[in-house]
Structure 1
Amino acid sequence: MSARPPSLLLVCMGNICRSPLAEGIFRHRAAETGLELELDSAGTHAYHIGHPPDARARRVARERGLSIDTLSARQVVAADFQRFDHILVADRMNLDELNRRFPRHADRAQLLLAFCGISPETEVPDPYYGEYADFESVFELLDRAARGALTRLRKG
């Protein structure tokens, strides 16, 4: 009987920009390295439930050889804290929101970039109100994060 693969939930505010990009990138990098992971993404807010990722997020992913077109936004639920080994959040505001909504699980969620070894204080900026170049920058940051996370998970 084999052990269950590590599981990660990637979280941002609406689950249409940062977290679906992160999910797509993490899936792609894990497949490249042969590391089996359970991945999903969700938002702290219900603004976009059932909607696909932002068109700019889908475009930046496609231009880099991966698709997030089939993903749809959902909101974090209490059961996620039992299902996932790691709840990785894009920024402090959304980390605080999770801790407010799910105080029993406040120790389970952490900043994404801290987990990935990039910086304990740095946040993934929200590109939603920005230009396309902001989505490109976020993609590059999340790609770096995925590589760091996979290195950490391979080491155990």
Structure 2
Amino acid sequence: MSRAFVRETEGGEAFEDLPDRPISPHTNFVTPAGLEQIESEVARLQAEAAKLGPDDKADTARVTRDLRYWTTRQGTAQLVETVAGDTVHFGSTVTVLREDDTPQTFHIVGEDEADPHKGSIAYVAPLARAITGKSVGDVVEVNGHDVEITAIKVG
């Protein structure tokens, strides 16, 4: 075949086919802070999109893809208000004692707001699943290791 009849990628056309960000199959539970984070991200991306010009093909593709993701997440978000209780649930801040006697405290949140380095884990994480519904003093096994719940707080 002659090269004259083969379409070459020009400029930023290769960026037009960015794959969508994967959407979790789990229910999109969010804390009030998580919903605020999603809304803020949508607003930021809309503002960024408004500033892009026709020559900003790569940035347009990225922003459009991310805006699709966050708009979808905003539309499926199910706000869960935290309530006081004696058991671990979505929105709880939990302290556990690991087998090596190291305490670890974390907040159970939605998938998009989870950041283990900042002390929050997704409600679908193995540790969160293992301790949900449990109380102070309960010991559970997570990935072959025991953890004891030593404190539960709301928020």
Superposition TM-score tier, normalisation by shorter sequence: under 0.3
Q: Which has the higher contact order (CA 8 A, sep 6+)?
A: 1
Question: Scaled by the length of structure 2, what TM-score is found?
Answer: 0.24
Higher strand residue share: 2
Question: Scaled by the length of structure 1, what TM-score is found?
Answer: 0.24
The structure with the larger Rg is 2
